[in-house]
Chain A
């Protein structure tokens, strides 16, 4: 096993060029906290972004930050917080769920399109990612996008690379759009609602003018005995007073919520963001993306076939975090069968290596899209050296 740690983009290009002929596959890593995502790959060498660090651009008044790919996410967040700003999409930290150590990097946030609860309002990591530099499978350094948030110059390769899990290239630098951090954050907590009632509440709130920034439901047994339904408001303090009052009135049929702030609110959302309710267990963990009102339908269909399944909802019901007994196949067929009539997709986020090797980790794609996917992979990485098979067999 060879570990390459380039300290410049030019070195990264040279390393990639040196392995093209031998088609030695490369693992791509940042802080290695998400190494268990995707299908297991067979590689002899690792290309790490650990040597590419540092913030390269920060203009608070232009709401833009750029950093080399290996820069710790925490450093980016601290730099932003010092100027009262933040990444808009609240990236998840996978360490608790996957039981990993190390420092998550900003490059991995881009490569994995890693978002959190705020995604329902502010968009995903891919919506805030406005520029990249990466080394493709020919050993060429290429750029796409840039430092301005409005840019439709040529094909948007930024989006393709976001969420490609290292299979298209080695990111060397990423540029994100940022936002001001809110003056005040509060969470409204309703108790005792069924999944259906909770999702109806969340949909009503998200369709109101009061702009919840996060909307989750924790059924009974997820972190507490009683079901909890959460809406998070972020704004100037006087707006929070007004909007929470209006929301409570609008949703009066669902009962009267508690209002929590500060540590209590922040801690609860960290649990949701990082799926900590499933940390440290032997269960396999899935992440389902469906239309919000389909969330309870998907879980009901799965519960009927998988004894012991547990779940909670984010994104107003549209993101289902599901834990199932790992068994032989992590209940893959039950999960996929439940999703198929609804539309949407399921990703196996945590499971033993043998299961991730045996069942599709990412949602299988219908034929025209699978062909396009394979073609895109080849267009970036003709020799197939980056993370071969990480997302789909043969890609």
Chain B
């Protein structure tokens, strides 16, 4: 695929490469600077692997002060900077460009402090999402946002993309779970925002930073909220004859005052793909599957499930299957969380990420099917039903350039559909390069200019992750 444009590399920067690399070498330890082509190669893309650009150099600092020195240098030299967490962005948020220096936080992976009384954890930005929960689970606590890539993705990247996950229906997304950050600004100044307390002193700059895709500065540390886990959790499978019935059941459950901790939807193609991979015991004779997770004590879960089952029966549920053991529960989640990987075993795919008002679900499912069929392709749907966050997986063959282009076009049509029904271009993956050129479909010029003027407060010269989020044309600096 080649539809998404990158800025033309600045020849004057490329011409100074040796000088710039030498300058970086004076700022960080030798093993923190990667210059050889074969060693830079792993940093040329992220999880949007169809696009690659080899960066000029990669720096992997170990301290906030090193990040500050490198950023200050790049700012003074006018060199673009691409911040990188674990490189798992599906939207191309961490893809570099030829005239840029990648600053990766992977070496900053220490958990600094756990405070159970105040329910906070202070961590470095390169700590993986799952490592936070791993550290505090011994005391029965967890970190709530749980993107499917949580084994690999970093807290810094999660903040950059305001990541979500299956359980944010109840616990919120990253921005609702971060209390403070240490951020390095482009001029090298180090700023502490928030802390272990709630809410901000002045403007909510912390809220602005969450989801800013590395365009305001580089996060080096974060204080996140940790929560005490419920006494137990139980996922239950509900198989429905039609997607409409499943969607109506979701609405009725919420309407009855029940907020399950997760409500995940899979359509028939997704069920087949995931079952073949995870052997989770998903029913194969249904058109739509809901994984609904309840939590609490055994008695509480029984009571809540009874309410949910009653509602599901009123909406024609065909199969109800409770997990009877921790192993069965794990298998149910394994199937869902490996949906992307399992799909990758049968075909190449693009994973889209848009959000719709849940009431539009039956219409959107039908239209998506029409759109993808119109391009002669197939789609498998998994999504977070409680909050309307869709993840259609468009299947194609990446060795066929015509088909690859069709898949990308179908994806763009689906995102436009999300906006048309009142939703948005991205629920939890971010804009990156992938959706950059659709921003003007969701926002008018005044909306975008206001965002860009705020961005310019932090980076007047468009050096921080410059090819992302905003269309390349029509940029304003202040």
Contacts and interface: CB of A to CB of B under 8 A. Distances in A.
B contact patch SS: loop
A131 B196 CA distance: 27
Interface stretch (B29-37, B78-86, B283-291, B296-304): B296-304
B323 interface: no
Contact of B303 (A236, A294, A379): A236
Interface residues of A, number: 82
Interface string A357-374: 000001101101100110
B431 interface: yes
Interface string A317-329: 0110000000000
A375 B296 CA distance: 47
A110 B53 CA distance: 42
A203 B296 contact: no
A318 B173 CA distance: 22
Contact of B259 (A159, A179, A292): A179
Nearest to B197: A344
Given A127-B172, A343-B197, A365-B201, A151 B424 contact: yes
B204 interface: yes
Interface stretch (B16-24, B328-336, B352-360): B352-360
Contacts of B257: 84, 180-183
A159 B172 CA distance: 15
A163 interface: yes
Interface stretch (A2-10, A96-104, A206-214, A304-312): A206-214
B439 to A, nearest CB: 6
Given A156-B175, A159-B208, A146 B424 contact: yes
Interface stretch (B57-65, B94-102, B398-406, B441-449): B441-449
**Centre residue among B141, B164, B454 by max chain A CB count within 10 A:** B454
B451 to A, nearest CB: 4
Interface stretch (B341-349, B364-372, B381-389): B381-389
Interface stretch (B5-13, B110-118, B238-246, B267-275): B110-118
Interface in A100-127: 113, 115, 119-120, 123-124, 126-127
B255 A61 contact: yes
Contact of B205 (A120, A372, A380): A372
A289 B197 contact: yes
A61 B198 contact: no
A279 B442 CA distance: 46
Nearest to A64: B357
Nearest to A237: B303
B288 to A, nearest CB: 17
Nearest to A289: B197
B456 A379 contact: yes
Contacts of A126: 199, 204, 207
Given A62-B357, A156-B162, A207 B116 contact: yes
Interface string B192-223: 11011111111111111011100000000000
- The interface centre, meaning the residue of B164, B168, B387 with most chain A CB atoms within 10 A of its CB, is B387
A62 B388 contact: yes
A162 interface: yes
B191 interface: yes
The winner among B197, B357, B422, B455 for most chain A CB atoms within 10 A is: B197
Contacts of B258: 180
A153 B431 contact: yes
A160 B168 contact: no
B185 A368 contact: yes
Interface in B425-461: 425-431, 435, 439, 442-443, 446-448, 450-451, 453-458
15 contacts: A64-B357, A123-B172, A126-B204, A148-B389, A154-B431, A155-B208, A156-B208, A203-B118, A206-B119, A236-B303, A289-B198, A292-B117, A343-B195, A372-B205, A379-B456
Interface of B: 115-120, 140-141, 161-162, 164, 168, 172-173, 175-176, 185, 189-193, 195-208, 210-212, 228-231, 251-252, 254-259, 296-297, 299-300, 303-304, 355-359, 384, 387-389, 422-431, 435, 439, 442-443, 446-448, 450-451, 453-458, 469-470, 478
